[in-house]
């Protein structure tokens, strides 16, 4: 797996994720701290997302390289061994069974899932930040006696 993706430590996001559950019991005095924490969470997630995106782009490039090697270099020997006519179509079919291509596709899937996870996590922190702002700084409609 890409070393760039291995350096993405999402355990830092666990603390920030736990804060989302605390929003319901929020008071106005704690709001600035929560706003700061969610801004820090978005910043950390953004940094992780950039690493994951780079790893994903590199994994896609590696996949294309592996497919080209399978098509141009490996397919001929494989087809000859099995007495299969060497055509462009048979070389394309070989790409799907090449082990290096399979591993490269797995890396692409892993990096793509990490990118999706971090995008969703960023959005959750963004929504939590906006919710804290709404709860803390907007006047609440009602009688003023809610919660008593």
Domain locations in the chain? 9-136
Asked if 75 contacts 94 with a C-beta cutoff of 8 angstroms, the reply is yes
Residue 27 is classified by DSSP as: -
How is residue 139 written in tokens?
């006047």
* b/e burial code for range 25-48 (CB count within 10 A of at least 16 → b): ebeeeebeebbebbeebbebbeeb
Mean pLDDT along residues 112-137: 94
Q: What is the pLDDT of residue 12?
A: 84
Q: What is the pLDDT of residue 8?
A: 73
- At 2-33, the pLDDT tens digits run 566 666 788 889 999 999 998 888 888 889 99
Residue 143 has phi, psi (to 5 degrees) of -85, -15
Q: What is the pLDDT of residue 148?
A: 52
| Residue 117: pLDDT over 80 | yes
Residue 108 and residue 96: Cα distance in Å, rounded?
15
Q: For residue 75, which of 97, 106, 54 has the smallest C-alpha distance? A: 97
Q: What is the pLDDT of residue 9?
A: 80
- At 54-96, the pLDDT tens digits run 999 999 999 999 999 999 999 999 999 999 999 999 999 999 9
CA-CA distances (angstroms) from residue 38 to 26, 66, 121? Answer: 14, 41, 11
How is residue 114 written in tokens?
């990490």
Residue 52 and residue 9: Cα distance in Å, rounded?
11
């Amino acid at each position: 797996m890409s070393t760039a993706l291995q350096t993405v430590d999402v355990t830092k996001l666990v603390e920030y994720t736990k804060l989302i559950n605390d929003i319901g019991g929020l008071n106005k005095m704690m709001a600035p701290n929560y706003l700061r924490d969610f801004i820090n969470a978005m910043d950390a997630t953004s940094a992780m997302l950039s690493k994951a995106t780079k790893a994903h782009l590199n994994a896609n490039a590696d996949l294309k390289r592996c497919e080209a090697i399978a098509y141009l270099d490996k397919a001929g020997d494989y087809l000859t061994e099995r007495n299969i006519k060497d055509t462009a179509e048979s070389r394309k079919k070989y790409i799907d069974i090449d082990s290096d291509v399979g591993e490269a596709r797995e890396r692409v899937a892993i990096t793509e899932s990490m990118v999706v996870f971090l995008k969703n996590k960023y959005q959750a922190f963004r929504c939590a930040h906006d919710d804290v702002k709404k709860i803390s700084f907007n006047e609440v409609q009602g009688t003023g006696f809610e919660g008593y």
